[in-house]
Amino acid sequence: MKKDKIGDPLSRIDGRLKVTGGAKYSGEYKLPGLTYGVLVSATIPCGTVSSMDIQAAGKAPGVLAVITPFNAPKVPGYQPGAARPVRGLKLFNDDKVYFNGQPIALVVAETFERATYAASLVKATYKAEPFETDFHKNFDKGVIPNEGRYKDYVRGEADAYKKAPVVVEQDYMLPSEMHNPMELHVTTAFWDGDDKVTLYTKSQGVIGSQRSIANAFGLEVANVQINSRFVGGAFGSSLRTWPHEVAAVQAARLVKRPVKLTLTREQMFTLVGYRPLTIQRIGLGATTDGKLMGITHESHSQTAVYEEFTENAVNVSRFLYASPNANTRYKVVPLNVGVPTPMRGPGEATGSFALESALDELSYKLNIDPIELRLKNYTDMDPERNLPWSSKFLKECYQLGAERIGWEKRPTKPGMQRDGDWMVGYGLGCGAFGAYRSKTQVRIKLTPDGSVNIQTATSDIGPGTGTAMTLIAADILGIPAERISFELGNSAFPVAPTQGGSQTVSSVGSAVHDVCIALKQKLNTLAGLPADNTAEIEYATILQRLNLPSLELTQESQSGEEARKYSMYSFSAHFAQVHVHSLTGIVRVKRLVAVVDGGKIVNHKTASSQMIGGAVGGIGMALTEEAIFDDRFGRYVNGNLADYHVPVNADAPDIEAIFIDKPDPIINPIGTKGLGEISLIGVAAAVANAVFNATGKRIRDLPITPDKVLMT
């Protein structure tokens, strides 16, 4: 009998469905009586809506309702005194406008085309107020976030780097970056009576969405059903329930029919978050032989005036390298913009660009190889928490990456290697991201024909969650993967955490592991064997002999004391080789080697794909992606996929993913730590550092475009 094991390159179990069109996404459910919702956006950045003329829209063919702040049914969770108040923007609850593009009306019609036409007929009159969208102009208005965990951090002496013999002090800028997954955000909602509602929506966490909708409408959690089986990319844009999802539910209750609300690509730039524009200052001080004496990392990033968004942009500087003195400062700048949200590698991707770039600058100032400098400041314990690592194989990452990229060919002086008209350079950027594990429940069912069904309410935004879980179950149960079906994306299934923070395999995988062990023990007991029997038994035969229609178990799995005794992180080292054209300034990433310490790798095939995808995102951060704002009108100039440049095939080089593949002995029974975030963290710095090695031009303002290369 064929046996599939953890580590095998199992093909995606849902791959055929996806490539043949059999996978149904949230916008593809054709419900009886389906109607269509289209949002109307504000055209000012700040002020109030004085009045709205909706007569023409309301009389347009096929229109069922036009919802505005002046006639909207009240959402209980939006009201003062709500038991569980909804955070963030509350659509149609009042007449206030906080940013250009904020929805101020929702048209519901029999067809999408009719709803779109009617939406164009809605006219609004505003009382405009002064607004602020210019981050640089308002930089000095940055404030320490309300959350206490973002207070200034000091280990040893603050700003001690200034006293060191060798000092690097520089500013680094990262523009706003948009998620832009292929699948638009779509929510289809319908009510069953007055107290039950069902949604098909793009969600990274159906349990979180279920609770959010229940809180908003004052419903029992069990009376809210969320379905999100397939998600066409998210990168963090679906980590929360957005106002348009609440609006779809609100509209469906009003018209008493299913409502499908689809965001346009332009609305995706303003309504589902983004990586915030951030300026960071790094100060590094070192001895002449390369030992760090002090690290200071300061960050200012934009947020919305109506809701505060924060992320761990400075935290990586507290622990990644040994330094007796380290301090960080973090502030946010409230502006009339839509609220940011976590984006792949949230905070750490931003922070690592600044830290790893500054460290590269220090290596040239000291005339020390960048790898050697990192080894001189390697940490065998977490200096921030003063705890041992659960596992750390970053030295092995350096070694393997250097070998594969051909680091020995790297010129020690910038601008010394050429290939015709192209200047050649090599760069390194490292990353770290917390290895998390959350409480998860999984249900397993064995039937007499020998097939196994596993259910849990996790989501899958693309990495191949179902495939990894199937492989874990096949390994533990000792049966072929084709006998196992794995179901997810349904809030009626056992509780699972949101897919974010690279925790899914660690959390859900541990629960799958544990429930499979429990099933084997139960079968052993039914067969009259010791519960810990390891000899092979035929599961189906036991059920048939006992005349059982099935055997079903639900198991909960969670971490223990280890989270307080160890510091748990995944680590990565990204090596880039770039070519920079000497006449045009065009940058081409020719090779990228990503070496990862992510614990035990469950499926090398899908893990490699995940690493390559993250690396491409890092190339976009380094070279192409930038949301451009017109501060005269408070709106994006390039809010579309024609003018916002995501990396395409021509930008993606030969990307090689290498895994240390050593299990973490502490974090969970499988030993996996997570890959999704560190696949991107460090890539932008590696590319920027390679550009400097090729040209001698240090570009600290991303993205690295030809004009900056030529003008620097």
407 close to 396: Cβ distance less than 8 angstroms? no
CA distance 537 to 359: 57
Name every residue whose Cβ is closer than 8 Å to that of residue 632 and which is 6 or more positions away in sequence: none
DSSP 73: P
DSSP 567: B
CA distance 702 to 175: 7
CA distance 577 to 111: 51
Helices 683-695 and 604-623 cross at an angle (nearest 10°) of: 50
Q: Which residues carry out catalysis?
A: 677
Residues facing 36 on adjacent strands: 109, 260
CA distance 657 to 94: 50
| Other CB atoms within 10 Å distance of the CB of residue 531 | 12
491 close to 207: Cβ distance less than 8 angstroms? yes
Reading the block at residue 223, the tokens are 């009376």
Q: Which amino acid is at 511?
A: A
52 close to 124: Cβ distance less than 8 angstroms? yes
CA distance 344 to 353: 14
Looking at 435-511, which runs of residues are DSSP E strands? Answer: 440-446, 452-455, 484-487
CA distance 576 to 427: 5
Cis peptide before 647 (omega within 30 of 0): no
Name every residue whose Cβ is closer than 8 Å to that of residue 400 and which is 6 or more positions away in sequence: 595, 658, 660
Q: Using alpha carbons, list the distances in angstroms from residue 425 to 338, 367, 368.
A: 38, 16, 16
162 close to 293: Cβ distance less than 8 angstroms? no
CA distance 116 to 705: 37
Which ranges of 527-557 would DSSP assign to H, the alpha helix?
Answer: 539-545
Q: What is the DSSP string of 243-273?
A: HHHHHHHHHHHHHTS-EEEE--HHHHHHHS-
CA distance 423 to 417: 6
Reading the block at residue 383, the tokens are 């200096």
188 close to 29: Cβ distance less than 8 angstroms? yes
Reading the block at residue 365, the tokens are 């100032």
CA distance 679 to 624: 18
CA distance 478 to 481: 9
CA distance 467 to 613: 17
The number of C-alpha atoms within 13 Å of 634 and in the hemisphere containing its C-beta is 23
691 close to 417: Cβ distance less than 8 angstroms? no
Length of the chain: 712
459 close to 205: Cβ distance less than 8 angstroms? yes
